Structure 1
Amino acid sequence: MASYDVIIIGGGPGGYVCAIRCAQLGLKTACVEGRETLGGTCLNVGCIPSKALLHASHQLHEAEHNFEKMGLSAGKVKVDWKQMLAYKDDVIGQNTKGIEFLFKKNKVDWLKGWGSIPEAGKVKVGDEIHEAKAIVIASGSEPSPVPGADVTVDEKVVVTSTGALALPKVPKRMVVIGAGVIGLEMGSVYARLGAEVEVIEFLDAITPGMDSEVQKTFQRILSKQGLKFTMGAAVQKVETKGGKATVTYKLRKDDSEHTTEADVVLCATGRRPYTDGLGLEGVGVELTERGQVKTDDHWQTTAKGIYAIGDAIEGPMLAHKAEDEGMAVAEVIAGKHGHVNYGVIPGVIYTAPEVASVGKTEDQLKKDGVAYKVGKFSFMGNGRAKAVFQGEGFVKLLADKETDRVLGCHIIGPGAGDLIHEICVGMEFGASAEDIALTCHAHPTFSEAVREAALACGDGAIHA
C-alpha cells in the first residue's frame, strides 16, 4: 500500500494540471487514469483532435476558394481521409506523450487503472489500495443521451463526438442533433469535406446562452457555408437499417412529424458528469439533481478530505475551467489560497470564423436591468481581415454606462479565440473600455478590431 499527500482521480485537463501543481507545491502526488494515455477526453477524443480536423478542413476550404484569388494555382486538391486521420492521431500522440513527460519531470506517479474510493482517505486502483490525505475527483464527463428520444449510439452510424472523430470515410449526408459547440464544430468539418450537413436543434437559436446577436450572425454565416438548420425540432427517434439512419422529429410550432435520412447521425446534445463506479455515495459525497458533485467555495465535497473539480461539478464544461480549478484546489490542499474568477472564463467555438465570448451578454444585462453601452466594430473595417478573406463578423464590447468598466465581450471573426484574452486580462484588472481604447495596438492586426470596438464605446471608432 502506497501513501500519498494527494491522489487525483482522472488524468484530463483538470486532473493532470492539479497533479502537476500539487507536486510543484511539494506534495507527494499520484494521478489515477484508466486510459492508455493521459489527457482525458480533451486530448484523446475531444478538444485537440477536433481542432486538428478543423484546421485541416479549413486549409481545404482555403485551397478550394481563396488560393486562385491570391495567385496560387495547384490544381484540384484531393482529400486523403486516412492521412487526415493519421495527422489527427499524431497530434493526439504528441500531446498525450507531453503530459506523460511532465508527470515524470514533476515526479507525479501515474496509477494506471480505474479508481474508486472504498473509504475515506483511500483510493482503490485495480486490486491495490492507496492511502491519501486528500483525494480530488476529476473524473470528467461523458456525452449526454438525446433527451426524450429513442436513440441507440453504436459509434458507427449513430455516433457521439468520439465516433465522429474516427469515421471510416466522409459521409455523403450527416445529421447533427444539437446546435451547440460540439455539433457545429464537427458539422462544419464534414461540411467542408463535402458532406451535406443538417443540424436539428430543439431551441429556436443555435449556441444556447450566447449573445443573441452573435447567434443570428453565426447561423447566417454557417448557412452560407452549406449547413442546413432545422430549428425548434424535437427528435423522437433514430432508426438504423443497412448502414443508414432515419431521424424522426416533431416541429414544436405545430407538432408536425417529419423524417430525414443520413449516413451518419451525430448526437451532440451536451455532456453529463461521469462519476460511475467511484463509490461516492458510500463515503458520503453528495450529488446534485443533475448528477454533479456538490462542492463548497473551496471545492470541498460533503465528505471531508475529498475535493472535486472540472466537468464533475457545477459550471461550464470547459477544459480551461477545469485547469483553473485544478490549480486552485492544489493551492487549497497545500494550505494556500486558491481562487477562480468564474466571471472571467472565456468560451470559444473553433469554426471559421471563430466565435468567442467572456462576461455578460447584452441579453443578460437587459434582464438584470444594468445600464450599459455597446461598442461594436465590423471586421470589414479591419485591413488585415480583409486581406485574408475574413471580413465577416464583428467585435462587440459591453461596458457599464456610468463607470465605463468592461462587463463583457463577444467576437465572431478571425482569431476570436485568441483576441478574447485581451478582454479577459482587462476584466481581471477592472479595465474600462477607455483603457483598451487608449492602448496602442499593432497595425495591421486583427486585434485592432478590439480597440475599435472600445473606441466605439466612447467618441466613436476610427475606421467604421
Structure 2
Amino acid sequence: MDASASHFDLVVIGSGPGGQKAAIGAAKLGKRVAVVERRDMIGGVCLNTGTIPSKTLREAVLYLTGLTLRDVYGSSYRLKERITVQDLLARLQHVIGREMEVVRNQLARNRVETVVGSARFAGPHEVDILDADGDRVRRLTAEKVVVAVGTRPARPVHIAFDGDRVVDSDGILDMQEVPRTMVVVGAGVIGIEYASIFAALGTRVTVVEARDKILDFCDAEVVEALKFQLRDLSVTFRLGETVESVTADATGTVTTLASGKRIPADTVMYSAGRQGATDGLGLEAAGLAADARGRLVVDKQFRTGVEHVYAVGDVIGFPALAATSQEQGRLAAYHAFGEPVSSVLELQPIGIYTIPEISYCGDTEDELTRAGVPYEVGVARYRELARGQIVGDTYGMLKLLVSTDTRKILGVHVFGTGATELIHIGQAVMTCGGTVDHLVDTVFNYPTLSEAYKVAALDATNKMRDVARFGF
C-alpha cells in the first residue's frame, strides 16, 4: 500500500441510495468512511437522472394537467392550457437542488468525507481518484470497499442516438419541447413510466416491445387495468415487435419495425435495459470481473468474489430499486464490520410510478397457481370508497391474495392513487405474519383509501365462508 495515501476503514464508490446508506451505516459504527463521487453527480443516478427526476416530472404533470380531477370537473379540465418544458424543469431543478443538499448534509453530519472525482481500483485495497481529464489526484486505501456505482441506459449499437430526436431515458431530461408524438422502445418499468407521463401531457405515444406482455412480473389483472387507462390516454401498444432501424432528421424520426411497420414521431426514446457502470473502475486490479452487462455478482452478505469488496444497488442487478438499494447498503456495511443485523428484504414492495401507479408485495396469482398454493382473492374498488369519489379516482383497486389454509396474506396488489403508499400497510401485516382476520377486525379512518384493505379482506373472508358452507 502507498504509505502517503489517505486511509479509511471503508471507501464507498458511488453516492446513490445504496452508497449513502452503506457510508452512513459504517459511520454510525464509528468507522472512518469516504464516499467517492463525481462533482456533478452527488446523490448518484437516482437523484440526478433516474428515480427523483422521473417521479418529480410525474407529479408536475399530474398537477399541471389536472388529469386526476377530470372525473370530477370534466374531461376538458386542465390547470394550465399550454404546458412547456420550462414548467416541468422548474419543479425538477428545485427538487434536485434541495435533495442534493439533504444528501450532502447527511454525509457531513455523520462525518463521512466526500471525495470528488472518479474512482479506479489500483489494487485490492487501493482506490485512485481521477479528475475530469483522467489524471490521478489522490490515492485512498481501505480495509473494506463498497461498490455502488449504479447503471446507465444500454444503447443498441445499430441505433444512432443524437441527444435530440433519438434519446435514452437520461437524455429525455434534456428535451427542448414537449413532443406531439413519441415512440418509446421498451415496455419495462422506465419505458412505461415515461410513456404514461408524456401521454398525460397530450403526446401521442406508441410503445414498442419485443415481448408479448408488458410488466410480466406484475399481477395480470392490474396490468390489464393499466393498459386500459393508457389506451384511454391515446397510447398505442406494438407488442411482439422489434425495431429494425430509426432514422432522424431536423423534422422528426421514423421507426421501422422488423414486421415492416413504419412509425413517424417527433421523438424516439429508447429504454432497452441498463448497463452496470463498472467499465472505468479498473476491476481487474482488485481481482474482480463484471458480467456482460457490467454487473457484479454477490453473495447473501453482498460480498463479491473478493472478500473485502462488497457491491450493492443497481450494479448487482434485480430488483434495481432505490428503496432496496438503501437496505442493501445498510446490510453490506453491517456485514463488513461484523455488526449483527436482521432484515425482511424478501418482502420488499415494488413500486411502479406510472399514471396511474402500481405497487405490490408478495406473490402474484400466477406464481401461486404455478406453485399449487390454494388461495382466495379479495378485491376493493376505489369507486366503492367515499375517498375514491372525493379524489376522483373511480378506476383504482386493491387486491388481497389470502391462503385458504392459514388465512395469511400471500400477496397485496394495488392500482391507482396512492398505491405506492398504501402497499406498506399490507407489507407490515405480511411481515408480522398477520392474517386476513387482522384486517377485518381493524378500524380504519373514514373516509380514506386505506379502507380498501378492510373491504378487500371482507370480500375474501366472505368467499371463504361460502366455500366452507358447502363443505368444500
Alignment of 1:32-431 (within 5 A): 32-62=36-66, 66=70, 69=73, 77-126=81-130, 127=136, 128-146=138-156, 150-250=158-258, 256-288=259-291, 290-431=293-434
Q: Secondary structure at the match of 1:441?
A: coil
Q: Hey, what does 1:253 align to over in structure 2?
A: none
User: Counterpart amino acid of 1:156?
Assistant: D
Deviation, 1:81, is 2.5
Q: Are the structure 2 counterparts of residues 339 and 35 from structure 1 closer, same or farther at C-alpha, using a change threshold of 3 Å?
A: farther
Q: Secondary structure at the match of 2:196?
A: helix
Unaligned ranges ≥5, structure 2:
131-135, 465-472
User: For the residues of structure 2 that align with 1:236 and 1:342, how far apart are their CA atoms?
Assistant: 40
1:163-219 C-alpha deviation (Å, 9 max, x unpaired) = 112211011111101122211221222222222111111122222311111111110
Asked whether the equivalents of residues 62 and 68 of structure 2 are also in contact (C-alpha less than 8 Å), the reply is no
Q: Are the structure 2 counterparts of residues 74 and 459 from structure 1 closer, same or farther at C-alpha, using a change threshold of 3 Å?
A: closer
Deviation, 1:417, is 0.5
Count of aligned pairs? 453
Deviation, 1:422, is 0.7
Q: Secondary structure at the match of 1:293?
A: coil
Structure 2 residue 22 is matched with structure 1 residue 14: no
Q: Are the structure 2 counterparts of residues 63 and 376 from structure 1 closer, same or farther at C-alpha, using a change threshold of 3 Å?
A: closer
> Equivalent of 2:444, from 441, 445, 453?
441
Q: Secondary structure at the match of 1:402?
A: coil
1:29-51 C-alpha deviation (Å, 9 max, x unpaired) = 00010142411111111111111
1:317-349 C-alpha deviation (Å, 9 max, x unpaired) = 101111000011111122113444342111112
Q: Are the structure 2 counterparts of residues 137 and 367 from structure 1 closer, same or farther at C-alpha, using a change threshold of 3 Å?
A: same
Deviation, 1:290, is 4.7
User: Counterpart amino acid of 1:6?
Assistant: L
Q: Are the structure 2 counterparts of residues 346 and 74 from structure 1 closer, same or farther at C-alpha, using a change threshold of 3 Å?
A: closer
User: For the residues of structure 1 that align with 2:286 and 2:78, how far apart are their CA atoms?
Assistant: 63
User: For the residues of structure 2 that align with 1:65 and 1:297, how far apart are their CA atoms?
Assistant: 46
Asked whether the equivalents of residues 160 and 166 of structure 2 are also in contact (C-alpha less than 8 Å), the reply is yes
Asked whether the equivalents of residues 85 and 166 of structure 1 are also in contact (C-alpha less than 8 Å), the reply is no
4+ residue segments displaced more than 4 Å = 72-76
User: For the residues of structure 1 that align with 2:256 and 2:450, how far apart are their CA atoms?
Assistant: 45
User: For the residues of structure 2 that align with 1:362 and 1:430, how far apart are their CA atoms?
Assistant: 19
User: For the residues of structure 1 that align with 2:219 and 2:362, how far apart are their CA atoms?
Assistant: 10
User: For the residues of structure 1 that align with 2:184 and 2:28, how far apart are their CA atoms?
Assistant: 43
Q: Secondary structure at the match of 1:419?
A: helix
Identity of aligned residues (%): 34
Deviation, 1:73, is 9.2
Q: Are the structure 2 counterparts of residues 426 and 67 from structure 1 closer, same or farther at C-alpha, using a change threshold of 3 Å?
A: closer
Q: Secondary structure at the match of 1:32?
A: strand
User: For the residues of structure 1 that align with 2:351 and 2:285, how far apart are their CA atoms?
Assistant: 38
Q: Secondary structure at the match of 2:318?
A: coil
User: For the residues of structure 2 that align with 1:458 and 1:321, how far apart are their CA atoms?
Assistant: 32
Q: Secondary structure at the match of 2:407?
A: coil
> Could you say what the CA RMSD is over the residues aligned between the two structures, in angstroms?
2.1
User: Counterpart amino acid of 1:99?
Assistant: V
Deviation, 1:64, is 9.4
Asked whether the equivalents of residues 303 and 311 of structure 2 are also in contact (C-alpha less than 8 Å), the reply is yes
User: Counterpart amino acid of 2:245?
Assistant: K
Q: Secondary structure at the match of 2:66?
A: helix
User: For the residues of structure 2 that align with 1:417 and 1:64, how far apart are their CA atoms?
Assistant: 16
- Alignment TM-score, normalising by the size of structure 1: 0.93
Deviation, 1:291, is 3.7
1:258-289 C-alpha deviation (Å, 9 max, x unpaired) = 11011110111222322111122332224345
1:361-383 C-alpha deviation (Å, 9 max, x unpaired) = 11111112212221112111111
Deviation, 1:130, is 0.7
Q: Secondary structure at the match of 1:459?
A: helix
User: Counterpart amino acid of 1:52?
Assistant: T
User: For the residues of structure 2 that align with 1:367 and 1:290, how far apart are their CA atoms?
Assistant: 30
User: For the residues of structure 2 that align with 1:405 and 1:74, how far apart are their CA atoms?
Assistant: 44
Asked whether the equivalents of residues 175 and 200 of structure 1 are also in contact (C-alpha less than 8 Å), the reply is yes
Deviation, 1:356, is 0.6
User: Counterpart amino acid of 1:456?
Assistant: D
User: For the residues of structure 1 that align with 2:328 and 2:80, how far apart are their CA atoms?
Assistant: 47
Asked whether the equivalents of residues 184 and 269 of structure 2 are also in contact (C-alpha less than 8 Å), the reply is yes
Asked whether the equivalents of residues 347 and 431 of structure 2 are also in contact (C-alpha less than 8 Å), the reply is yes
User: Counterpart amino acid of 1:97?
Assistant: E
Asked whether the equivalents of residues 71 and 393 of structure 2 are also in contact (C-alpha less than 8 Å), the reply is no
Asked whether the equivalents of residues 372 and 398 of structure 1 are also in contact (C-alpha less than 8 Å), the reply is yes
